[in-house]
Amino acid sequence: MTRMYNIKKAFKNVNTLLIGTFSSLVIAFIMFYFTDFELIKINLGIVYATAHMSLEILISVLFGLNIGLLWTKLKYIGGVSKTTTGSTVIGSIMGILVSGCPVCSITLASYLGLASIIATFPLFGLELKIIGLLLLLYSTNDLSKNLYSCSIKK
């Protein structure tokens, strides 16, 4: 209950709403620009294409929510934990890295030296999207739990 209250309270602020919406739209644009759904549907099937598209929508919404909450936390408290920052960054990078079609993500991953790892996955990188989504969920949960409070360790 506290988490939803904190999220609603944070997004009543116009700046938080604009930052969250803008970042969500930017990530959604990047993801959908580099994705060829017809090619995915033909090569991997309608079920894979639907799962791929659903995960992209969820990642872009969670990314915008996460950035808005992170901005609010930084504005009111002045800092966040290393765990929250790390899970936000890693979840975002993993979600964006495999944002396009499987062939594009392997090409993009090859620049980072990860193409052989992604090529061995049975779901062609959909696993990384799920991991990125879970990390974004964890980070959003962690941010919204103590959004307006600062925890000091003894």
Confidence (pLDDT) at 22: 92
pTM (2 d.p.): 0.74
Contacts with 80 (C-beta within 8 Å, 6 or more apart), sequence order: 70, 73, 74, 143
Is the pLDDT at 117 greater than 80? The verdict is: no
Question: Which structure tokens are listed for 21?
Answer: 């919406």
Are 129 and 95 in contact, with CB atoms under 8 Å apart?
yes
Are 12 and 18 in contact, with CB atoms under 8 Å apart?
no
CA pair distance 107, 13, nearest whole angstrom: 40
Percent of the residues in the chain that have a pLDDT greater than 90, as a whole number = 3
Q: What is the pLDDT of residues 49-62, one digit of tens each?
A: 888 889 889 988 88
Percent of the residues in the chain that have a pLDDT greater than 70, as a whole number = 66
End-to-end alpha carbon distance in the chain: 27
